[in-house]
Amino acid sequence: MNRSQHDMIIRKTLKLGGAKPVLFAGPCAVESPEICLEIATKVKAYAEKHGFGYVFKASFDKANRTSGQSFRGIGFERSLAVLKEVGDSLQVPLLTDVHETCQLEAVAAVVDVIQIPAFLCRQTDLLLAAGKTGKAIKIKRGQFMAPEDMQFAVDKIRSTGNQQVCLTERGFCLGYHNLVVDMRALPIMRQFAPVVFDVTHSVQQPGGNHGSSGGQRELAPFLARAAGAAGVDGFFIETHPDPSVALSDGPNMVPLAEMDGFLGMLKKAWTLGHEFEDYQL
């Protein structure tokens, strides 16, 4: 299978699908300015050390939590202000996700990449409105979607005239509380657009922790290496100084103290995968 000829321009100096992988990394949610700046500062340094382009990510609203009692965020305007502070202070591109069309104007004024959550990857109005912002659009494959059907989500974005779109793999549902990554999805989706592998949500156990999601972070290195060797254009990783007290998705996060070594390992796997990228039967 040949990969798509399309790249995604994040900024003039950063492209997904180019000569180096792009890392989208940060906390699951905007918890505070201090935590976001600490994570972004350290991960930016690690990314530069290991030859990754870097985009800071954090969600302003966790709208799809298992329980209505779970933490959702510190507020829309306050979260966007924190994201802007991180971007301005460290001169890094920013990513956050949206859930409704009414959020797009304010979000597009702050971030470089707009993420469409997996549960919303078929929402036509949201995809079209996102495409019309002109920002780079990152679509997560729904756990219920066949890889080849993600072509139609890409087509919706491109129908607006916006060519800056990529896809993200994070596994499919196999029974309750379990996700499985089908590595065949990576080359299939790379025919349509650049592909990012979601390292940490791939080891999530949705709703598997009695009202919140569990996770198996110990499996993250294995899936990450496999995806890198299979051939992807970037990686998505959630990290935190102390995942045990993170306000969302702690069980599947890579601890911040481990990110330096994790990225070193990941770059080697990615390099191997791209060395054999043109080999096919």
| pLDDT value at residue 158 | 98
Task: Name the H helices within 30-75.
Answer: 33-50
Position 106 pLDDT exceeds 90: yes
- Greater pLDDT, 173 or 44: 44
| Alpha carbons 209 and 19: distance in angstroms, whole number | 40
Closest CA to 217 of 197, 195, 235, 244: 244
Name the packing angle between helices 220-230 and 259-275 (round to 10°): 30
Residue 210, helix vs strand vs coil: coil
Per-residue confidence (pLDDT) for residue 226, from 0 to 100: 96
pLDDT at 250: 79
**Kind plus residue range of the DSSP H or E element containing 239:** strand 234-240
**pLDDT given at position 175:** 82
Q: What is the mean pLDDT of the chain?
A: 92
Of 96 and 67, the one with more pLDDT:
96
Is pLDDT at 132 greater than 70 in this prediction?
yes
pLDDT of residue 110: 98
Percent of the chain with pLDDT over 90: 77
Bridge-partner residues for 168, per DSSP?
A: 140, 196
Residue 70 has pLDDT above 70, yes or no: no
Per-residue pLDDT reduced to its tens digit, 202-241: 888 876 566 566 778 899 999 999 999 999 999 999 999 9
pLDDT for the residue numbered 119: 93
Q: Which amino acid is at 275?
A: E
The pair phi, psi for residue 130, each rounded to 5°, is -65, -45
- Compute φ and ψ for 207, nearest 5 degrees: 65, 15
The stretch 184-192 carries a mean pLDDT of 96
- Better pLDDT: 275 or 158: 158
In this prediction, residue 208 carries a pLDDT of 56
Average pLDDT over residues 63-85: 82
Range list of H helices, the chain: 33-50, 76-90, 104-108, 124-132, 150-158, 185-189, 220-230, 259-275
Give the per-residue pLDDT at 211.
Answer: 59
Distance separating alpha carbons of residues 88 and 93, to the nearest angstrom:
9
- Let me know how many helices (H) and strands (E) the chain has, helices first: 8, 15
- Write down the pLDDT at residue 1: 74
Q: Which residues contact 120 (CB under 8 A, 6 or more apart)?
A: 99, 126
Domains in the chain, CATH or no CATH each:
8-274 (3.20.20.70)
pLDDT in tens, 15-67: 999 889 999 999 999 999 999 999 999 999 999 999 999 999 999 987 775 66
Rounded percentage of the chain residues whose pLDDT exceeds 70: 95
pLDDT score for 260: 98
Q: Are 244 and 253 in contact (CB under 8 A)?
A: no
CA 112 to CA 148: how far, in whole Å? 27
Averaged over 82-107, what is the pLDDT? Answer: 97
